[in-house]
Chain A
Amino acid sequence: EAGVAQSPRYKIIEKRQSVAFWCNPISGHATLYWYQQILGQGPKLLIQFQNNGVVDDSQLPKDRFSAERLKGVDSTLKIQPAKLEDSAVYLCASSVDHTSTDTQYFGPGTRLTVL
């Protein structure tokens, strides 16, 4: 079974620039999550989708971060404009459903460095 795919794996940008990350979840998984993992910390949830709808974006800094999952499969997370403190690994995860104790499976992440 193919896992969660993410691209790019690494990205270096200047502050105030824009950046976008892509995620393809495990086939058949309705729920998709974006997490931010700052060095030395555990992942922190940014946004959660069920199919193409947002079920939780309470921790997403909406002034600069946006995400979409238009067709209920792939998702894109965007940062515009980036700040130094956005340097982190951005992890995408997926699970079968958002109302059960199903396991979340993580992708390899995108390591973002903001200079």
Chain B
Amino acid sequence: GENVEQHPSTLSVQEGDSAVIKCTYSDSASNYFPWYKQELGKRPQLIIDIRSNVGEKKDQRIAVTLNKTAKHFSLHITETQPEDSAVYFCAAQVTGILTGGGNKLTFGTGTQLKVEL
């Protein structure tokens, strides 16, 4: 099955600095890569996603890059703010049309991001 590795497990940055979180996946059939932000005690919320036919996607201060050859994808947050502090999860999905048994979304182990004033 799919294995998603995520690094680092904790990341502390100063307000205004950039933060980068990196993930690797094992199943070459994965074609959808969402990133979720989860604040303490709250639901995971999608912040950005990328599909396998795209190499990079940006939304204001957040960007994601995908290297399908190397099976790497990364989240970049620029100009970090205290409200960016949360746990971030990467995930990789093989869609049901390929599995024949439904979408298979596998999560990484999470990165605890702390933005310090």
Contact = CB atoms under 8 A, between A and B. Distances in A.
Interface residues of B, number: 29
A75 interface: no
Contacts of B102: 31, 48, 50, 55-56, 98-99
B109 to A, nearest CB: 6
Contacts of B81: none
Interface in B88-117: 89, 91, 93, 95-97, 99, 101-110
A30 to B, nearest CB: 11
A56 B99 CA distance: 10
B57 to A, nearest CB: 13
A46 interface: no
A99 B43 contact: no
Nearest to A101: B32
Contacts of A40: 110
A105 B43 CA distance: 9
Given A42-B108, A100-B97, A101-B95, 19 more contacts: A41-B110, A42-B4, A43-B44, A43-B107, A44-B107, A45-B106, A48-B102, A55-B96, A56-B102, A56-B104, A91-B43, A91-B44, A95-B103, A98-B103, A99-B102, A103-B34, A103-B49, A104-B34, A104-B46
10 contacts: A4-B43, A31-B102, A42-B109, A45-B104, A50-B96, A55-B102, A56-B99, A91-B43, A103-B46, A104-B34
